[in-house]
A and B are shown apart, each in its own frame.
Chain A
Amino acid sequence: MQTSAVYDSLHPLEINLLAAFSQSGEKPVSDSSLQELSQLEPSQVSMALGWLQAKELVRIHSEVTTAWVGLTEVGHRYLADGSPPEWIIRTCRQEAQEGRSFTVKDLQGLNAFPPTELSRALGLLKKEGAIALGAGGRIEATETLSPTVEKLHVLLHELKKDRQELLSFAPDQQTLLRQYAVKRGSAQEPFRIEERIQREYIPTRTGKAVAKRCHAGSAEEVSQLTPDMLKDGSWRNKRFRKYTITLRPPRVAPGRRHPYREFLDLVKHKLVGMGFQEMRGPLVETEFWDMDALYMPQFHPARAIHDVYFVKTPTHAKTVAEPFLSQVAATHETGGTTGSSGWGYRYDTERARRLILRSQGTAVSARTLASNPLIPGKYFSMARCFRYDQVDATHATDFFQIEGIVLGEEINFRTLLGLLTIFAKEMAQAQESKFFPAYFPFTEPSVELHVRHPKLGWMELGGAGLFRPEVTQPLGVTVPVIAWGLGLDRMAMVALGIHDIRELFSVDLEKVRTLRGRFA
Chain B
Amino acid sequence: MPTISFFQKDFEELLGRAAPPEQLESWLPLVKGELKDVTHATGEIRVELQDSNRPDLWSVEGIARQIRIKLQESPLAYPFLHAKAKPKRRILVAEGLDQVRPYVAACTATGYTVTEESLAQLIQVQEKLADLYGHKRKTVSVGLYRLPRIHFPVTYGLVKPTEARFTPLGFSEKLTLQEILTVHPKGMEYGSILAGQPLLPLLWDTEGQILSFPPIINSQDIGQVHAGDSDLLVEVTGTDMRMVLLTLNIFATNLADRGAVIEPVEVRYPYDTGWGKSIRTPCDISAVQKIPLKAIESALGLPIDSELVQQTLRAYGYEVKASRHTLAVRLPHYRSDLMHPVDVAEDVAISRGYDSFVPVMPAQFTVGSLSALEMMSDYIREHMVGQGFQEIFSNILLSHEELVERMRLPEDEQVVEVDNVMSQSFSCLRSWILPSLLRVETASPRAFYPHRLFEIGEVAIPDSSQELGSRTAVRLAIVIAHPHANFSEVHTCLDMLLFYLVKDYELEPLNHDSFLNGRAGTILCQGQPVGLIGEFHPEVLENWGISVPISAFELDVDWLCRDDS
User: Contact residues of A with B, CB < 8 Å?
Assistant: 251, 253-258, 260-261, 265, 268, 271-286, 299-301, 305-306, 309-315, 317-319, 335, 338-345, 355, 357, 374, 376-378, 384, 386, 388, 390-391, 396-398, 406, 408-415, 417-422, 434-439, 441, 444-447, 466, 468-470, 480, 502, 504-505, 507-510, 512-513
Contact = CB atoms under 8 A, between A and B. Distances in A.
A504 B391 CA distance: 13
Given A254-B388, A391-B426, A374 B366 contact: yes
Nearest to A341: B339
Most interface-central of B345, B419, B458 (chain A CB within 10 A): B419
A412 B300 contact: yes
Interface string B382-419: 00111111111111110000000000000000001111
Nearest to B446: A510
Nearest to A261: B393
Interface in B335-352: 338-343, 345-346, 349-350
Q: How large is the interface on B (under 10, 10 to 19, 20 to 34, 35 or more residues)?
A: 35 or more
A268 B377 CA distance: 13
A451 to B, nearest CB: 13
7 contacts: A258-B392, A284-B416, A301-B135, A412-B298, A418-B362, A502-B395, A512-B392
B452 interface: yes
A253 B391 CA distance: 11
Given A255-B389, A283-B429, A341-B339, A437 B349 contact: yes
Nearest to A295: B339
A469 to B, nearest CB: 6
B362 A410 contact: yes
Contacts of B365: 275, 376
Most interface-central of A299, A339, A447 (chain B CB within 10 A): A339
Contacts of B368: 271-277, 378
Contacts, number: 276
B396 A509 contact: no
A388 B30 CA distance: 31
A9 B30 CA distance: 77
B51 interface: yes
Interface pairs A-B: 7 shortest CB-CB: A412-B301, A509-B444, A414-B301, A417-B359, A445-B346, A376-B364, A272-B368
A311 to B, nearest CB: 6
Contacts of A313: 417, 469
B52 A439 contact: yes
B371 A418 contact: no
Interface in B188-241: 240
Given A255-B387, A357-B429, A410-B363, A398 B396 contact: yes
A253 B390 contact: yes
Contacts of B343: 444
A414 B357 contact: yes
Interface in B294-310: 298-302
Contacts of A436: 29, 32, 354
Nearest to A308: B420
B419 A315 contact: yes
A444 B345 contact: yes
B52 A301 contact: yes
Contacts of B53: 439
Most interface-central of A260, A284, A343, A409 (chain B CB within 10 A): A284
A434 B355 contact: yes
